[in-house]
Amino acid sequence: MTSSPKQPTSTSEDRTEESPGGDETRPEAAKDPIPDNSDAVDASDTSDEASDKWDAFAPDAPQARRGRLRRFLGHEWTLAAVGSVLLAVLMTWPTVKDITRTIPEDIYDPLLQAWQIAWAGHALVTDPMNLWNANPFFPESGSLAFTDAIPGYAPFGMIGEGFTAAVVRYNIVFVLLHALAFFGAYVLLRQLGARRPGAAVAGMAFAYAPWKLAHGGHMNVISVGGIALALAMLARGHGFSLRTGYRSDRTRTGWVIGGWLVAAWQMTLGFAIGIPFGWVLLTIGLVVLISWFVKRRPVVPWRIVIADLAGGAVFATVTLAIASVYLKVRETHPNAERTEADLALFSPPPHGLLTAPSENWLWGAAHAQARTTLPYLAEQPLLPGFFLIGLAIAGLFFSTWKLSTRLWLGGTTLVMVWLTLGTQSANGGEYGYLLVYRHLPGMEALRTPGRLILWVTLLLAVLAAGVVSAFAQQAYEVARHRPLSQIGIPLRLAMVLPVLLVGVEGWNNTPHPVVPTPPVAFSTLKAPLMILPSDQFTDEAAMLWSTDGFPTMVNGGSAFYPARQDEIRNMSTSFPSPESVQYLRDLGVKTVVVLRDRIPGTPWERAASTPSDELGIDRREDGNTIVFTL
């Protein structure tokens, strides 16, 4: 069929008809014209290339009939990127409302991670070789690796200076990481062959699943957009989709290299999510290799093989370079090592998979009783979403994916659920998480099996996208034979409904407390310094305050307590006694700052009232702050 010159041509998205069960049949040109939402393909083109779902998203050869700027602004990928950011602002509201004063979730770990971003940017600009030797935890070295670091956000840390900039920076990254998660999942499903409504459902589920709200203070856990984006780019580069399989004529070297680079960047955003991601990539590679040998051995261009080897080498180099730092910390600080007892504490019970965190607007209050049986509320409410689960189950029976694909997706989802339960699965996890914990390098560093719910969520999202895409195809078939004036609006509303349901289930009720401001200008103090009281939560605030000049200091919050830090804290409880002053002097500490409003009820509460005139130290009071210069 040839398009009328007065009518818009059909898009590549609507080329392929599907059977009611979702299995593909022959490509067929549209019988009726539909709006041109992206670069159009001539309606007479019935080739497989025209049916490629990615063509509308990232075409290799933009058509010359439209201006470059117009093409850019009108491309699906541009609209998806802008829409992802706007959606993130809405779904994380009120993060940007008071961007200079408040922070999502609480004033503990988010303050530490706001400091991490600031320090990474500062270090790479001023002294890149000492990136891991951060200013807290004096006199220790390698302190950036005392907890799961996120140096991949260092470029943001290069913008602005000081405390307020650090808070603003954190809030911006918090919004953008949600945008990237939606965008990454959306483009992944578009590449795999989903229609736009199905891809949007997957993006919404992956970015805003209810369980992620419990990790609102763990940026290293919710920074997952690079995972989906890397998988999308690698699939694109290898000419693969779930609908058409591997096509050697669609391979693209640039996409392969780009996918590996994004995967390497993802590893710099934390090993808590990065290590399982690395094993997933390796597993996919092994499955592909085995399939290549077992099946007809399709031709793989040498340029793709070389791109994979080069990209994989970059990924491995980045991963091993970061891992070496953490291994050194574990050697120096044996108490940093995770044990199977830690797994038992953090493993979620089965009902945790259907329990929402308190930060969830829709289910939070209703699940309050269920949460009373969960000892670790930041790790064990793991609801991926009831609407998502329902769509995924439906996707096992009615889908745009082939039956064999659905069976693989369903089986893999069950395996990941089994691993997510940790030691709470049958036989204490002996035939589940403990197998990977004991035998896969790197997994022994992870104490929270529940974070594998990320992969359960992604697999459910793929299944859900399949059923929504199949429904969209059926709706399109109906629309081809009826006037748009009769069914246009109802059909569009029907396409949006699954997205809205999944989105409402991910709506947040996250607190946004005011960030405590610095009690003193840290850049004016003689370093090294120590802030009293010194405990996990005060020290995390002190780390953020230290973005004013980054002075070295004894204080520091992390995933474990270094033995020397415990010793310093114990010796400082009698400050300003002669013994404690001498101990700190011998250590090299120049300044001690006592916070009057924080010491009541702590071992340091006498520090503000104990005389120090005969100790040869300078004491200066400023409101709630007492500064001792040793």
To which H or E segment does residue 455 belong?
helix 453-480
User: Is 195 within 8 Å of 147 (Cβ atoms)?
Assistant: no
Asked if 486 and 569 sit in the same domain, the reply is no
Q: Are residues 451 and 573 in the same domain?
A: no
Q: Does the structure show a pLDDT above 70 at 5?
A: no
β-pairing, 16-18 vs 591-595, is unpaired
Residues 535 and 498 in one domain: no
Confidence of residue 75 (pLDDT cuts 50, 70, 90): confident
Examine the domain organization and report whether 467 and 562 are in the same domain: no
231-272 confidence digits (pLDDT tens): 999 999 999 999 999 998 999 999 999 999 999 999 999 999
Burial call 446-463: b when 16+ CB within 10 Å, e when fewer: bbbbbbbbbbbbbbbbbb
What is the domain range of residue 612? 522-629
Integer Rg of the chain from CA? 27
Is 406 a residue whose pLDDT tops 50? Answer: yes
pLDDT at 25: 37
Residue 75 in domain: no
Residue 18 has pLDDT above 80, yes or no: no
Dump the DSSP string for 503-568.
HHHT-B----PBPPPPSS-GGGSPSSEEEES-SHHHHHHHHHHTTTT---BS----SS--HHHHHH
Question: Distance (Å, rounded) from C-alpha 630 to C-alpha 619?
Answer: 9
Query: How does 57-80 read in b/e, with b if 16+ C-beta sit within 10 Å?
Result: bbbeeeeeeeeeeebeeebbbeeb
Residue-by-residue DSSP string for 286-334 = HHHHHHHHHTT-----HHHHHHHHHHHHHHHHHHHHHHHHHHHHHHH-G
In this structure, what DSSP letter does residue 9 have?
A: P
Check whether 33 has a pLDDT greater than 90: no
pLDDT at 625 over 70: yes
What b/e string do you get for 8-40 counting C-beta neighbours within 10 Å, with b at 16 or more? ebbbbbbbbebeeebbbeebebbebbbebebbb
Question: Which amino acid, residue 339?
Answer: T
Co-location of 579 and 465 in the same domain? no
CB contact at 8 A, 153 and 167: no
Main-chain dihedrals φ then ψ at residue 224, nearest 5 degrees: -120, 0
Pair 314, 421 in one domain = yes
Peptide bond before residue 62 is cis, with ω within 30 degrees of 0? no
Does 465 lie in the same domain as 586? no
For residue 103, tell me if it sits in a domain: yes
The secondary structure element, H or E, covering residue 278 is helix 271-294
- Burial 289-300, CB ≥16 within 10 A → b, else e: eeeeeeeeeeeb
* Segment among 2-6, 182-186, 284-288, 402-406 with least mean pLDDT: 2-6
Q: Are residues 113 and 8 in the same domain?
A: no
Give residue 268's Cα distance to chain centre.
Answer: 11
Helices (H), 194-248: 196-208, 219-222, 225-237
In the predicted model, is pLDDT for residue 364 greater than 90?
yes
CA nearest to 338, candidates 227, 433, 213: 433
What average pLDDT does this structure show over 19-39? 36
Note whether residue 492 is domain-resident. yes
Q: In residues, how long is the chain?
A: 630
Q: Read off the tokens for 560.
A: 């474990």
pLDDT, position 57: 56
Task: Give the pLDDT score at 64.
Answer: 52
* C-alpha to C-alpha distances, 432 to 283, 416, 454, 621, nearest whole angstrom: 16, 9, 17, 58
How far apart CA 284 and CA 280 sit, in angstroms, is 6
Q: Which of 34-43, 45-54, 402-411, 599-608 has the lowest mean pLDDT?
A: 34-43
Question: Do residues 157 and 117 lie in contact, with contact meaning Cβ atoms separated by under 8 Å?
Answer: yes
18 strand-pairing partners: 24
pLDDT band of residue 611 (cuts 50, 70, 90) is confident
What is the C-alpha separation between 33 and 293, in angstroms, rounded?
A: 44
Task: From residue 110, give the alpha-carbon distance in Å to each of 174, 198, 398, 592.
Answer: 10, 33, 42, 25
pLDDT at 337: 87
Model confidence at 551: pLDDT above 60: yes
**How high is the pLDDT of residue 1?**
40
When pLDDT is cut at 50, 70 and 90, the band that residue 60 belongs to is low
**50 has a pLDDT exceeding 50:** no
Residue 81: how many CA atoms within 13 Å on its side-chain side?
10
Window from 22-26, 180-184, 336-340 with minimum mean pLDDT: 22-26
Distance, in Å, from the CA atom of 444 to the CA atom of 323, rounded to the nearest integer, reads: 12
Residues 53, 96 within the same domain: no
Name the least confident of 252-256, 338-342, 437-441.
Answer: 338-342
356 — pLDDT class (breaks 50, 70, 90): very high
Query: What is the rounded average pLDDT for all residues in the chain?
Result: 89
Band of the pLDDT at 450, cuts 50, 70, 90? very high
Based on the fold, state whether residues 488 and 593 are members of the same structural domain: no
Whether 141 contacts 166, CB under 8 Å: no
576 with 478, same domain: the answer is: no
Name the pLDDT band for 451 (thresholds 50, 70, 90): very high
User: What average pLDDT score do residues 414-427 get?
Assistant: 96
Which is more confident, 383 or 6? 383
- Give the closest residue to 550 by CA, choosing from 589, 521, 572: 521
Domain-embedded: residue 562: yes
pLDDT digits (tens, 9 = 90+) for 118-165: 999 999 999 999 999 999 999 999 999 999 999 999 999 999 999 999
Domain check: are 97 and 136 in the same one?
yes
142 inside domain = yes
Residue 296 domain-assigned?
yes
- Please name the helix (run of DSSP H) or strand (run of DSSP E) that holds residue 79, with its range, or none: helix 76-91
How many structural domains does the chain have? 3
What is d(CA 315, CA 307) in angstroms, rounded to the nearest whole number? 12
Longest Cα–Cα distance of the chain, Å, equals 98
Structural domain includes residue 515: no
What's the rounded Cα separation, in Å, for the pair 250 and 241? Answer: 10
pLDDT tens by residue, 108-120:
999 999 999 999 9
* Helix/strand/coil for 241: strand
The verdict on residue 228 lying in a domain is yes
The whole-number pLDDT of residue 37 equals 36
Return all residues near 434 (Cβ < 8 A) that are at least 6 apart: 340, 343, 423, 428
Residues of the chain with pLDDT > 70, as a percent, come to 88
Which pLDDT score, from 0 to 100, does residue 486 have?
Answer: 63
pLDDT per residue over 193-225, tens digit each? 999 999 999 999 999 999 999 999 999 999 999
